Each structure stands twice: as C-alpha cells, then as structure tokens.
C-alpha cells in the first residue's frame, strides 16, 4: 500500500461477518439476543419520524441518568463502533501519536490507522494477568501523544482495570495534554459491584459504550460517547458528515430498553455465569490450553500450547463444526477467543468439541 493511501478496512469485522458462524458458534462476544416480544413495548406508540436532529432528548436523558452525567456530555452514536470512530476522529489529527493497548480489538486500531494517527502500542502481558501497567504507558508517552486507548473490560481477555489504575493513566495523559478513551462496552458485564463509568474520574476521560454486548439488543445500534460538552459538540457536528441523524424508531425502542435495563441484563446473566463455570472446569482438565480466568465478562482469551493455532482452528471448524475467534485478529496467533452467554447447550457442546479436537 502506498504511504499516501489510507487504511480503509477491518479484517476482523470482515471475517466476523462472513466466516465466524458455525453450528457451535463460540466466536461471539456479546450475550444472546433479547427478543422484541419480551420487551414491554407498546408497538402502537412506535413512530417513524420525530424530533432527533442532534439526538432524541429522552434517550440522551436515559443515557445520562444511567451514568449519572449531564445530558450535554452524551453523544448518541450507531453502536460503540461509531462511538469509537467519532471519538477518535474528533480528537486525532493526522500524525498525532495515539497509544493503544496490545492485544487490542482490531477495529480500534483500524480506525486510528484510517485517521492517519501515529499508532504506538503498550503491552498488556499474560504473565501480568493482562493487566494494564501504567509504567508501560509512561515508557511510550511523549509530548506528541494525543490519545491513550483502552478497553474495560478488556477485549479479548475480559480483565477489569480498576479505577486506581485508570486514575493513574489519567494523570499520565494530563501531564502531556492528552486524553484517555475508555471503551466500556463490556463493563456492565460486571454483575456485582458494577463499577461506575470512568468518565467520572476526570475531564481527560472520554468513554464509549452501547447496549449491544451485555443487554442483547445489538440490532438497536444504541451507542454513545461521554465527553466534555465542547468535545461532545465537536463529535455531534462531525457526525453530520456520517449518519447525520439517528434512526428514530431505534431511539424510541432504546428508551424502552433503558426502562427495563435490569430485565435485559438479568436475562443473560445466568447463561454467562453457567458458561463461565463450565469454561473454568474445562480449562482445569485441559493441559494443552490455558487462560487467565476472570470473574466477569463474556469472552476469554485462551492460549494454545505447543501447537499451530491456525491448523487447530481449521480442524475445529471443518471436523467439529465449532468456531472461535483466531488470535491473529488480536495479533496473538497462538491464542483464540471464546465467547460466553448465548446458549449454554451450544457452549457446552462447543467446549466438548474443542476437547475432542485437542485430544
């Protein structure tokens, strides 16, 4: 690719849309779908058009209440995907340094490259339980750094970053005038003692999230950004170049989803919890694989010891009808990601097939 040509694709998203499905699909990242019939919605009240030029006020209010923030700080977006894009595009100029965790969710890297950022990486290592080590950020930050990006919970490992570490990262960012983008799309999968959004930790923190992964309503594409009011306006105005206005019926349904948020979350919770228990039992019996075990989250990042992961994953798919996400999409080709929370029957059978493929 010529250095003047921009990066304009996501290999991971393309794979996910075209090749991730299988009879036993463990290549998922969020919980199973919440059916419309179980959402207590009066369809007679649904409407196609309405007042939502810069977002639908009741939805902005619902997001603001959910997080305990001012509605002025809430920017609606089409999922966390568009939230990450808008946030980064509003903050980064070509050539700006952006520090992104490694391993990372592919599309975050793709967007930073598309925006012609000078992308630098800081490692989260398996030996350190995949935790963010602020010393690693300190090591690579410079006065040209404009943004530090992390996911919390971390995709692919589901490791939680505590507020104390996030605060330290905020301090490092502030020392060079940079911002911190925290993608919290999985944070509400911490079912007990759910942390408050890191947006409250300081004005240098920008947060993205959505109802897609933990609440089972991905189809609504209800996403958002939390940012200081000036920056929030920059993002709304930038969005005039993209999707301009949100989908109004989606916003109406999203308001209903917010009214019943705990119903949506609790429906998936027992499935996630049983799947995690099965995964931990399975890992204990399988010397050929290992993973940092977490209490929360819908994904686990598994290391395959002493075997070629591509050969193994192809055999798993072809001979055992089971899919997982290849670690190469997280730049770690001897790992793979397993998703929990869709159907325990499917998950259990998928694990059993992984076991047979390993044998």
Ligand X SMILES: Cc1ncc(COP(=O)(O)O)c(C=O)c1O
Q: Where on the chain is the footprint of ligand X (CB under 6 A)? A: 29, 79-81, 84, 105, 151, 155, 183, 185, 210, 212, 218, 223
Q: What separation in angstroms does the CA of 107 have from each of 82, 100, 330?
A: 10, 12, 10
Question: What's the closest the beta carbon of residue 137 comes to ligand X, in angstroms?
Answer: 18
Comparison of 106 and 134: residue with beta carbon closer to ligand X? 106
**Please, where are the H alpha helices in the chain?**
11-18, 57-67, 79-91, 106-114, 134-140, 163-175, 229-239, 248-259, 261-284, 309-320, 344-358
Comparison of 56 and 320: residue with beta carbon closer to ligand X? 56
Q: Classify burial at 245, counting beta carbons within 10 Å of its beta carbon; exposed 0-12, middle 13-18, buried 19 or more.
A: middle
Residue whose structure tokens are 């670690």: 327
Q: What separation in angstroms does the CA of 267 have from each of 5, 340, 343, 350?
A: 46, 14, 12, 22
Comparison of 29 and 145: residue with beta carbon closer to ligand X? 29
Question: What's the closest the beta carbon of residue 29 comes to ligand X, in angstroms?
Answer: 4
Comparison of 149 and 172: residue with beta carbon closer to ligand X? 149
Comparison of 76 and 320: residue with beta carbon closer to ligand X? 76
Question: What's the closest the beta carbon of residue 103 comes to ligand X, in angstroms?
Answer: 11
CB 213 within 8 A of CB 240: no
Question: What's the closest the beta carbon of residue 189 comes to ligand X, in angstroms?
Answer: 11
Question: What's the closest the beta carbon of residue 155 comes to ligand X, in angstroms?
Answer: 4
Comparison of 104 and 346: residue with beta carbon closer to ligand X? 104
Q: State how far the Cα of 104 lies from the Cα of 97, in Å rounded to an integer.
A: 16
Three-class secondary structure of residue 100 per DSSP: strand
Residue whose structure tokens are 């602020």: 134
Comparison of 272 and 320: residue with beta carbon closer to ligand X? 272
Question: What's the closest the beta carbon of residue 80 comes to ligand X, in angstroms?
Answer: 3
Comparison of 8 and 45: residue with beta carbon closer to ligand X? 8
Q: Which two tokens stand for residue 167?
A: 């605060």
Question: What's the closest the beta carbon of residue 134 comes to ligand X, in angstroms?
Answer: 20
Q: State how far the Cα of 90 lies from the Cα of 68, in Å rounded to an integer.
A: 24
CB 184 within 8 A of CB 209: yes
Closest-CA residue to 212 (of 235, 186, 183):
186
Closest-CA residue to 184 (of 175, 197, 171):
197
Residue nearest to ligand X according to CB distances in the complex: 79
Q: Which two tokens stand for residue 25?
A: 């699909």
Comparison of 102 and 174: residue with beta carbon closer to ligand X? 102
Question: What's the closest the beta carbon of residue 185 comes to ligand X, in angstroms?
Answer: 5
Residue 120 β-bridge partners: 99
Sign of torsion over alpha carbons 110, 74, 178, 331: negative
Question: What's the closest the beta carbon of residue 221 comes to ligand X, in angstroms?
Answer: 7
């Amino acid at each position: 690719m010529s250095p003047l040509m921009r990066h304009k694709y996501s290999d991971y998203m393309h794979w996910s849309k075209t090749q991730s499905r299988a009879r036993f699909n463990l290549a998922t990242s969020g919980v199973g779908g919440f059916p419309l019939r179980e959402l207590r919605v009066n369809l007679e009240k649904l409407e196609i058009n309405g007042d939502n030029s810069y977002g639908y006020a009741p939805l902005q209010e619902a997001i603001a209440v959910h997080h305990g923030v001012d509605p002025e700080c809430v920017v609606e977006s089409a999922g966390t995907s568009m939230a990450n894009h808008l946030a980064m595009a509003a903050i980064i100029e070509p050539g700006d340094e952006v520090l992104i965790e490694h391993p990372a969710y592919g599309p975050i890297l793709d967007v930073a490259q598309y925006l012609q950022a000078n992308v630098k990486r800081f490692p989260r290592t398996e030996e350190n339980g995949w935790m963010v080590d602020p010393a690693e950020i300190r090591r690579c930050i410079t006065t040209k750094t404009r943004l530090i990006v992390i996911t919390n919970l971390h995709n692919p490992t589901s490791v939680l970053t505590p507020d104390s570490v996030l605060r330290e990262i905020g301090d490092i960012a502030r020392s060079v005038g940079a911002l911190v983008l925290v993608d919290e799309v999985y944070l509400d999968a911490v079912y007990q003692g759910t942390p408050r959004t890191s947006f409250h930790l300081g004005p240098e923190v920008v947060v993205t999230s959505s109802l897609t992964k933990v609440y089972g309503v991905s189809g609504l594409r209800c996403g958002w950004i939390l940012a200081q009011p000036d920056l929030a306006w920059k993002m709304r105005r930038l969005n005039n170049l993209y999707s301009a206005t949100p989908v109004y019926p989606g916003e109406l349904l999203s308001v209903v989803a917010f009214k019943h948020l705990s119903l949506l979350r609790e429906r998936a919770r027992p499935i996630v919890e049983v799947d995690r228990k099965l995964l931990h039992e399975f890992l204990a019996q399988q010397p050929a694989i290992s993973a940092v075990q977490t209490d929360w989250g819908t994904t686990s990042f598994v290391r395959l010891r002493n075997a070629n992961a591509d050969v193994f994953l192809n055999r798993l798919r072809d001979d055992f009808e089971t899919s997982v996400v290849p670690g190469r999409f997280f730049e770690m080709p001897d790992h793979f990601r397993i998703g929990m929370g869709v159907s325990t029957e499917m998950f259990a059978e998928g694990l059993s097939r992984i076991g047979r493929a390993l044998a």
